[in-house]
Structure 1
Amino acid sequence: MHSHDHHEPQGDDLTTAARKTLEQAGEQWTAMRERIFQTLAGFEKPASAYDIAEAVSKSEGRRIAANSVYRILDLFVQANLARRVESANAYVANSHPGCLHDCIFLVCDLCGQTTHIDDDKITGSVRSAATDSGFSPTRPVIEVRGTCADCTA
């Protein structure tokens, strides 16, 4: 397997890495974007915009609309701060926002846990197959559904 290793910041270091990445993309790091990112990063499983809006609403003491969260999440995906788990219509914080690569998600059908792995050989093969078919891939979305080790045990 051709994987690559990352220094994966957490907590404040991850927020700082996300802020730097967003600013390098020419976007502003606002207080609301920070709150949305920190909330997303705090979830142990992929979170929907509604999950995030509810959590932020509770912490802010005022209602935050899911539509506002969706717009911010779309920006985060575009800037590589978050990844969308398509089959769950949910998001995960990218633990290495400065690194551009394709991701593979392993999604447990029982508990919802989603594990992110990198394998450039597999994603490169998917890109090559698409290109060989006359298609210009932007970003492959690879999700493997099944049962995680915790649920199998």
Structure 2
Amino acid sequence: MAHAHHDHHEPQGADLAQAAQATLERAGEQWTAMRASVFGALAGFTKPASAYDIADAVSKSEGRRVAANSVYRILDLFVGANLARKVESANAYVANAHPDCMHDCIFLVCDSCGQTTHLDDDRLTGGVREAASAAGFQPVRPVIEVRGRCAKCAIN
């Protein structure tokens, strides 16, 4: 654990898509037109998006129906390759703004507006991993979700 908390340069738009493509290809997978479309749609959402939300966005942009089942398969691949993160409590996904950097997930989920913020804190997630290991459990990838109200909603 090199850093307890740190910031990343977070690429956006075409730069983010290029970073995602490079990460996926390093993992031995192809960056197909459909995968590019799904990633582009996912990255375009400002809040976590369901597979159905993404399928609708891709369907509209391509002028043809795209099944949510196809999107789910691609999202599973993206999560496994670190291109996307799953917000478990919402069964929704966010694009990983730094796909070449592996961290466990900490999500702050606003119960009022749905905004979700992703934090990296290796000290905290390392403690979770250590506690799991001490209990005889082999953690694969902890996901921590903190529900509450974001700063904007808290003042309203």
Equivalent in 40, 43, 46 of residue 42 of structure 2: 40
The gaps in structure 1 that reach 5 residues or longer are none
Partners of 2:28 and 2:120 in 1: how far apart? 27
Alignment deviations for residues 34-81 of structure 1 (CA, whole Å, 9 cap, x no partner): 000010000000000000001110111110000000000000000000
Partners of 2:26 and 2:42 in 1: how far apart? 21
Structure 1 segment 1-153 matched on structure 2, within 5 A:
2-153=4-155
Count of aligned pairs: 153
**Greater CA drift, 40-49 or 2-11:** 2-11
TM-score, normalized by length of structure 2? Answer: 0.96
Deviation at 1:2, TM superposition (A): 1.6
Alignment deviations for residues 66-114 of structure 1 (CA, whole Å, 9 cap, x no partner): 0000000000000000000000000000000000111200000010000
TM-score, normalized by length of structure 1? Answer: 0.98
Partners of 1:110 and 1:101 in 2: how far apart? 27
**Greater CA drift, 18-27 or 1-10:** 1-10
SS in 2 for 1:115: strand
Deviation at 1:22, TM superposition (A): 0.1
Partners of 2:139 and 2:122 in 1: how far apart? 15
Partners of 1:28 and 1:118 in 2: how far apart? 28
Partners of 1:5 and 1:144 in 2: how far apart? 20
RMSD: 0.9
Q: Aligned AA for 2:134?
A: D
The gaps in structure 2 that reach 5 residues or longer are none
Q: Which runs of 4+ in 1 moved over 2 A?
A: none
Partners of 2:91 and 2:83 in 1: how far apart? 16
SS in 2 for 1:121: helix
SS in 2 for 1:107: strand
